[in-house]
Structure 1
Amino acid sequence: MSNNPFEFKLLVKKGESIEKSVYKFLRKAVYSGYFQPGERLVEASLAERLNVSRTPLREAIKRLETEGLVETIPNKGAAVLKSSPEEIEEMYFIAGVLEGLAAYLAVENISKENIDRMREIELILEDGECQSDYERWLKLNNEFHNIFISACNKSLLIRLLNQRTGPLGRYWYLGCTSPGMIDSCIFAHKNILEAFSERDAEAARKAVEEHLFQVGRLMRRHLGRIFVV
């Protein structure tokens, strides 16, 4: 367990099931780095700390396992999935190909309003104050990408992208500290915006693909320095 400032306190929203609340809480704990790669999720201990029964906790952990965030280790139980820097790079390469296809398909559908919103987000991402707030930066970065992914209007592709890129989210908090990562993203976003503004499908595909390939390379080098798997 890390010294992450994540607040270990379960909040159940009105009308939301305990199982869903526990799932969302554990997912955020994994994404934020509170639970480290390879760390065990001990049901008895977690149930006591969260003041819930083990049934909704067990179901939440199963759901995280289907998303590729948790694995079940024989005779040990559930643990946060531990991927090597090389595997993470490969996942970004796969995401690059899929998201590049989404960008290619989105060009004919994306609205001027959506492109304007992407441009607005990019200006915020360039701001130094935003860059010092990793959580805000990542949230806006996700919105930037999700705008054109949604515009591809291909539900199967979107679902596949969510399955492939979901596990990568937990590494972004570490990735933001990688030398050159944010500058690389901003440069790539400008190329992506230019391609969409010019309605150039092939340029959009290439810009997105190269962007995520580069993120994968930077992530592999950075994570290889800061943790051993």
Structure 2
Amino acid sequence: MPVPKDFASPIRMSAKERAFSLIQRWIIDGTLQPGEKLIDAELAESLGVSRTPIREAFQLLEVQGLVSTHPGKETKVTVIEKVDIFKLYSTMAVLQGLAAEMTAKLIVPEQLEQLRAINLDFANAISSGQAYLAMEIDEQFHNLIVELSDNPYVASFSASLQIHIRRYKYLFLKQPNTTTQASVEEHAAIIAAFEQKDSERAHVIMKQNFIRPMQDLHGLL
């Protein structure tokens, strides 16, 4: 079970939080492969903590569906199921489309500038090949739109789905620039729709922003 030796530890975190954050990232970026057995003693030694926070992190990761734990037996990274792509992305597309539709009616100029700045950072992360950073910035973009929609139910369900989508999104953002650049352009089109207070167009483009990666990923896996 290869574990990086030169990772940067998150600051001001408990041992459990640090273990959870790092193991989650290693699962998402493929350092820990689907189906791989996780050995708490090895992870504890690598992270410089006891086994207890590792086991607590496993419990949190299991809730997220990233690992499966069998008490007294073993913990493994869950396998990426191709069939789940349609279930996850189609559901998220509906939620995000609704958020965009609502945000188009409420957004103000300062918030439009925020979205433009985030999308610029997103484009830079993609062009420099920083897939994990691009994934995080893409989430910032969508999370801000959900926040501005002022609908706590959309926010709650989107946050839950986002956890499961991360592994697929990372795979997508590792694809060639020409594929991922379309996401930058769709973000720009969503911002333009917001600027025009065009709820219907914002809804349509936002859904496309999830449906297109869904189709690409299904062909990739």
Separation in 1, partners of 2:124, 2:143 = 21
Normalised by the length of structure 2, the TM-score is 0.86
Deviations 1:8-63 (A, max 9, x none): 6573634x321112111211222222111121222232223323222211111111
One of 184, 187, 191 as aligned partner of 2:185: 187
Deviations 1:59-108 (A, max 9, x none): 11111111222222577422222122231233111111111112122222
Give the letter aligned to residue 198 of structure 1: Q
Separation in 1, partners of 2:146, 2:184 = 18
Aligned to 2:168: 171
CA contact (8 A) 1:89 1:219 kept: no
Separation in 2, partners of 1:164, 1:121 = 21
1:85 aligns to what SS in structure 2? coil
Normalised by the length of structure 1, the TM-score is 0.83
> 1:25-44 alignment to 2 at 5 Å?
25-44=22-41
Identity of aligned residues (%): 26
1:13 aligns to what SS in structure 2? coil
Q: Which runs of 5+ in 1 are unaligned?
A: 225-229
Aligned to 2:75: 78
CA contact (8 A) 2:97 2:203 kept: yes
Describe the shift of the 1:23–1:198 C-alpha distance in structure 2 as closer, same or farther (beyond 3 A).
same
Aligned to 1:199: 197
Describe the shift of the 1:151–1:52 C-alpha distance in structure 2 as closer, same or farther (beyond 3 A).
same
Give the letter aligned to residue 183 of structure 2: C
Deviations 1:128-187 (A, max 9, x none): 973433233333322222221111122232121111121221233321233543132123
Give the letter aligned to residue 149 of structure 2: C
122-131 or 62-71, which moves further after superposition? Answer: 122-131
Q: Which runs of 5+ in 2 are unaligned?
A: none
122-131 or 156-165, which moves further after superposition? Answer: 122-131
Give the letter aligned to residue 134 of structure 1: A
Separation in 1, partners of 2:21, 2:111 = 28
1:108 aligns to what SS in structure 2? helix
Separation in 1, partners of 2:31, 2:120 = 30
Describe the shift of the 1:220–1:75 C-alpha distance in structure 2 as closer, same or farther (beyond 3 A).
farther
Give the letter aligned to residue 40 of structure 1: K
Separation in 2, partners of 1:10, 1:118 = 28
> How many residue pairs are counted as aligned between the two chains?
220
Aligned to 1:227: none
Aligned to 1:102: 99
CA contact (8 A) 1:125 1:140 kept: yes
* RMSD across aligned positions (CA): 2.6
Separation in 1, partners of 2:187, 2:150 = 21
90-99 or 42-51, which moves further after superposition? Answer: 42-51
